Amino acid sequence: MSKSAKAIAFLALAVACTGGAFAGERAGLGRPALPEELKAWDIDVRPDGQGLPDGKGSVSDGEALFQTKCSSCHGEFGEGAGRWPVLAGGKDSLTSDRPEKTIGSFWPYTSTVYDYIHRAMPFGDAQSLKPDEVYALTAYLMNLNDLVPGDFVLSRGNFPKDLPNEKNFYDDDRETTEKTFWNNDPCMSNCKDKVEVTGHAAILDVTPDDQKDNKDEKPAGAVE
């Protein structure tokens, strides 16, 4: 073995040692995922349509399914029951005191409807729907939001990307628009002339009380 070949061999050995016992780039743990496993778990659908399966569904099939599997929470026409999410309507409400953030009024992409129904609905029986059923429910919800006609049949081939409100989303810009909040020398004394109380939580009286049953109170603001 020539001197340079020996040097290369030594170098290779050194690299192998580093990569083995003392944690190099790869530990060699885990095993290759099989195609069937990827198919079972990789269910996400993107706005560009990546992940949409074969299949199709009509507005009318979706309506029938919706009344059976969805309307007890979301209402017959997606208007929502109780505090369950409203899915349709809310047009032009986003600047009002009570915005209704529905698929038609707020959501940016159609793919999210398909992805979420398949992923998490019906609530308590997730991932039970077949692709044709998810296409049909998506079509019905688009119809409820006046986005497609009643005879529409949705499939991967005609799956729309953007919903009407897509243009009104933009990336986080707090560091520029709110840069006034960076201040190395905030006021410490006599920062305002007078201080007045302008609002009281006690007036609303919606705070849970271990001694009192007020769970039916429904003031403004909710999470889902």
Partner 1 sequence: MAPTLASAQTPDPLIVERQEWTQYLGDGVNAKPYGVPSKFEKDVVRREVEWLTASRQSSVSFTPLHALDGVITPNGLCFVRHHGGEAEIDPDKHRFMINGMVDKPLVFTMEDIRRMPGRVNRVYFLECAANSGMEWRGSQLNGCQFTHGMIHNVVYTGVPLKAFLNEAGVSAKGKWVLAEGADASAMTRSIPLEKAMDDCLVAWAMNGEALRPEQGYPLRLVVPGWEGNMWIKWLRRVEVGDQPWAQREETSKYTDLLADGRSRQHTFLMDAKSVVTNPSPQSPLKSKGPNVLSGVAWSGRGAIKRVDVSLDGGKNWRTARIEGPTFPRAMARFYVDFDWNGQELMLQSRAMDDSGYVQPTKNELRKFRGTNSIYHNNGIQTWLVRPDGSAENVEVS
Q: Identify residues 27-56 at the interface with partner 1 (CB under 8 A).
A: 27-33, 37-38, 41-48
Residue (43 or 64) nearer to partner 1, CB: 43
216 touches partner 1 by CB under 8 A: yes
Exactly one of 174, 176, 211, 212 binds partner 1 (CB under 8 A); which one? 174
Q: Is 73 in the site for partner 1 (CB under 8 A)?
A: yes
Alpha-carbon distance 174 to 195, whole Å?
28
The 3-state secondary structure of 50-117 reads CCCCCCEEEHHHHHHHHHHHCHHHHCCCCCCCCCCCCCCCCCCCCCCCCCCCCCCCCCCECHHHHHHH
Instruction: Please check whether residue 4 is in contact with residue 10, taking contact to mean a CB–CB distance below 8 angstroms.
Output: no
- Alpha-carbon distance of 99 to 78, in angstroms, equals 16
Among 5, 178, 211, 212, binds partner 1 (CB under 8 A): 178
Pick the binder of partner 1 from 170, 176, 211, 212 (CB under 8 A): 170
Neighbouring C-beta atoms of residue 82, cutoff 10 Å: 7
Query: Is position 114 an interface residue for partner 1 (rule: CB under 8 A)?
Result: no
> Which one of the spans 3-11, 124-132, 135-143, 148-156 is the region binding partner 1 (CB under 8 A)?
124-132
Shortest reach from residue 1's CB to partner 1, in Å: 32
C-beta of 151 vs 172, nearer to partner 1 = 172
DSSP 212: B
